């Protein structure tokens, strides 16, 4: 008759292999969406041939706003196709790997001393390793999932912003003001907006801008003796500086040159009246000072 310890060890080993079986079989994979009419690679082959011919014709004889827009739109379409495939693979990787794989691995490694152990000390040690390792795997998986979610959200947000800028330029500007070569440069930025590196850079820029905004608020609060009233400080200065007059156009152009490279793309007057635009107003005040036309 088998001892109770032997039966216990066999039962724990069976549990470990059951975990492996449930993780690797009997589960139907849910795809991320319906199948495409054409694969991304098939569409890319067709688009590549059309774009080669269209761009050759554009530079040879038929340069026009319509042909430029058609080329840019076709390239955006292909960038979108590859991006959505990349995003789907990123989400799928997040869903399919991680916690379950770690638990299965821990179960199998933990089963070794349970199967071969002759005493309860080894069994308890293996069980402790399993529990502690499972907790860490779960924590790491939650962190990874949140990171992927933040990156995907940032990529979509920045891609939408860059796309809106490109479309606006396509609609409003002719080929002299917005030639195809310039549009292709914007498309490179559109592509970069859909990469992890691009998302990390934008997140860093956002955090830096928020930090600078907080520093500006703190500085103004301290100067004003504990009462932050931007209407009496930076708002008033910028409003007066941008008032209609002989210097208005030159001042607007000057401030734009300082704002746009730092990510503030709206008209300077937009930031003059917004309570949350202290950072932009600080940039404008410094810009005017450096140009010898202080506020």
For residue 115, the surrounding DSSP H or E stretch is: helix 99-116
**Spatial CA neighbour of 155 closest among 201, 186, 112, 122:** 201
pLDDT for 114? 41
pLDDT at 142: 59
Give the integer Cα–Cα distance in Å for 15 and 111.
9
Whether this model's pTM surpasses 0.85? no
Could you tell me the pLDDT band of residue 219, with boundaries at 50, 70 and 90?
A: low
The helix or strand, by DSSP H or E, that contains position 93, with its residue range, turns out to be helix 65-96
At residue 25, the 3 state secondary structure works out as: coil
Distance CA 281, CA 273 (A): 10
Write the pLDDT tens digit of every residue in 171-216: 999 999 999 999 999 999 999 999 988 888 888 777 666 666 666 5
Q: How many CA atoms lie within 13 A of 93 on its CB side?
A: 11
85 CB-near residues (< 8 Å, 6+ apart): 40
Q: Mean pLDDT across the stretch 68-86?
A: 93
């Amino acid at each position: 008759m088998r001892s109770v310890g032997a039966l216990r060890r066999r039962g724990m080993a069976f549990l470990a292999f059951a975990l492996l079986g449930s993780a690797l079989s009997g589960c139907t994979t849910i795809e991320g969406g319906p199948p495409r009419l054409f694969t991304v690679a098939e569409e890319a082959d067709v688009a590549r041939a059309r774009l080669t011919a269209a761009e050759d014709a554009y530079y040879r004889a038929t340069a026009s706003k319509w042909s430029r827009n058609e080329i840019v739109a076709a390239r955006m379409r292909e960038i979108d196709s590859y991006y959505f495939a990349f995003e789907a693979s990123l989400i799928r990787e997040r869903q399919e790997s991680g916690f379950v794989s770690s638990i299965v691995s821990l179960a199998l490694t933990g089963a070794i001393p349970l199967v071969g152990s002759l005493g309860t000390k080894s069994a308890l040690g293996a069980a402790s390793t399993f529990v502690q390792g499972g907790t860490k795997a779960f924590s790491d998986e939650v962190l990874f999932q949140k990171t992927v979610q933040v990156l995907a959200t940032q990529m979509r947000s920045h891609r939408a912003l860059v796309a809106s800028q490109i479309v606006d330029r396509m609609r409003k500007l002719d080929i002299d003001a917005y030639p195809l070569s310039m549009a292709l440069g914007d498309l490179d930025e559109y592509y970069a907006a859909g990469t992890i590196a691009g998302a990390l850079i934008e997140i860093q820029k956002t955090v830096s801008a928020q930090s600078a905004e907080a520093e500006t608020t703190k500085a103004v609060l301290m100067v004003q003796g504990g009462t932050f009233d931007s209407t009496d400080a930076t708002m008033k200065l910028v409003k007066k500086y941008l008032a209609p007059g002989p210097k208005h156009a030159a001042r607007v152009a000057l401030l734009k040159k300082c704002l746009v490279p730092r990510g503030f793309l709206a008209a300077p007057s937009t930031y003059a009246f917004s309570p949350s635009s202290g950072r932009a107003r600080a940039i404008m005040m410094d810009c005017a000072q450096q140009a010898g036309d202080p506020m």
